[in-house]
Amino acid sequence: MNFTFIGLGYVGLVNSVLLASFYHNVIGYDIDKNKIELLKQGVSTIEEPNLQTLLSEAKTKLRFTSNAQDAISINNIIVICVDTPNKNGQIDLTHFNEALDDIARYAEKDCYIIIRSTVPIGTNKYTKEYLESRSKHKFQIISMPEFMSESTAVYDTINPYRLVIGVNNQESIEFAQSITPVFLTKKVPVLITTPENAELIKLSSDAFIATKISFTNSLAKICEDVGADIDRVSLGMSLDPRIGKSFLKPGIGYGGVMEETIDPNCWILSKKETNFEVVKAAMEVNKKQATRLLDKIFKKYKAVSSLTIGVLGASYKANTEDIRNSAAIEIIRTLLDKGADIQLYDPLCMDKVEKVFSRHTHIKYKNYAKDAIKGTHLVLILTNADEFKLIKPEDYISLMIAKPVVIDAHNIYKVNEMNGIEYISNGRKINK
């Protein structure tokens, strides 16, 4: 089959590379000309395991362009994967609408439009009306929300838990059935339903995960207050199959694009408010996670202006270079504003962080985790990137100044292995 993808970020690039590697012909279009130049040279513009290899292997079936007409006029299956950020409590459809304008302008035949971007409820219907009022062609709109996670995007796309497809007439249903095998390499549940259901399944799945994350982070705070241990409490809970074990480890909150679309205030295209109180509470808890970690620092130190602080991790979660809505960035910014010297190391996102703090002279970027720790008074572990776990407790003692203090948001060490270190973890007793 022949596909055109509009928007080549995490969702669009991974999907287009995978479809090309399954021998479909794919045109990838993005407005970002630099991105297209790199992709034309065969360089992946995001860090995802196996993506670079798959991109190199699939190049004969994959063509990249920054020319919308070239991308849209040729194919009649167009997949929209543009970003849909939250601006002031509303999902911003500016980029989505620009994509629709291009489709209306350049489509040369009737088209199937597959929406993989996360969009408010009602967008499927709106898309059909928008396009057909601007073009002489007919459009069948298929809502196919994407459920991948960054850092496992290729794996998730090859091994989804389910495929959800929202359609509202017989022709779209038949088309949806015909493309299902294209997106699946193994048998998983396929739910063909209404567009509104599909749109809400995506939004509410993200919100449910966010709620679980905030639940665990709130529980970690209670563990600290009552002298319990979150690791043991989570383990005990997870042994109940009704609860399961995912998202029961504490951290500094969720972030990335998920942060943008879980806000139930922006779920309905035509209406502003929904009263989904549980999710709103989860959002409130999440907003406080950076402050909760900062409070641990300010409780220990009256002022941070004389401190050199090693920071391990700045992305919104481990093993991705994405810093969108990262609580780590907020923590670093607050500490710099209060006069601390920061030595940062992150395995993947250093270039992006340098751009954010380009005016700050008190942040140094280190090439190795141990260099970020060296000569510091305090170390903050803000993601659980795999390589941080290779730092041994004795490394902190030998590399840091005086008695080391380590604040670990992700509990990557056992409390009792941190002898000689003041080890302040998350939801567990402090090791002094």
Ligand X SMILES: NC(=O)c1ccc[n+]([C@@H]2O[C@H](COP(=O)([O-])OP(=O)(O)OC[C@H]3O[C@@H](n4cnc5c(N)ncnc54)[C@H](O)[C@@H]3O)[C@@H](O)[C@H]2O)c1
- The residues in 33-52 that bind ligand X, with binding defined as CB under 6 A, are 35
Q: Measured from the CB atom, is 122 or 393 closer to ligand X?
A: 122
Q: Which is nearer to ligand X, 85 or 393 (CB)?
A: 85
Q: Does 72 bind ligand X (CB under 6 A)?
A: no
Two tokens at 428?
């567990």
Amino acid symbol at 39: L
84 binds ligand X (CB under 6 A): yes
Site for ligand X in 320-379 (CB under 6 A): none
Q: Which residues contact 414 (CB under 8 A, 6 or more apart)?
A: none
- Give Cα 369 distance to the centre of its chain: 23
The structure tokens listed for 234 are 């989570």
Judged by CB under 6 A, the stretch of 82-90, 105-113, 336-344, 353-361 that binds ligand X is 82-90
Site string for ligand X, 383-412 (x = CB under 6 A): ------------------------------
Task: Evaluate whether 151 touches 51 at the Cβ level (below 8 Å).
Answer: no
Under rule CB under 6 A, residue 146 binds ligand X = yes
Which of 95, 300, 364, 374 is the binder for ligand X (CB under 6 A)?
A: 95
x/- letters, 254..293, toward ligand X (CB under 6 A): ---x---x--------------------------------
The bridge status of strand 90-91 relative to strand 86-87 is antiparallel
Gyration radius (Cα) of the chain, Å: 23
# residues contacting ligand X (CB under 6 A): 27
| Nearest CB to ligand X, comparing residues 84 and 425 | 84
- Asked if 148 contacts 209 with a C-beta cutoff of 8 angstroms, the reply is no
Identify the residue among 3, 4, 10, 44 touching ligand X (CB under 6 A).
Answer: 10
Instruction: Give residue number: closest CB to ligand X.
Output: 9
In sequence order, the 6+-apart residues with CB closer than 8 A to the CB of 113 are: 78, 80, 103, 127, 131, 139, 140, 141, 142
Sheet hosting strand 363-365, strand order edge to edge: 363-365, 341-345, 308-312, 378-381, 405-408, 422-424
Instruction: For residue 2, give both structure tokens.
Output: 């022949």
Binding residues for ligand X, rule: CB under 6 A, are 6-12, 29-32, 35, 81-84, 95, 98-99, 117-118, 146, 148-150, 257, 261
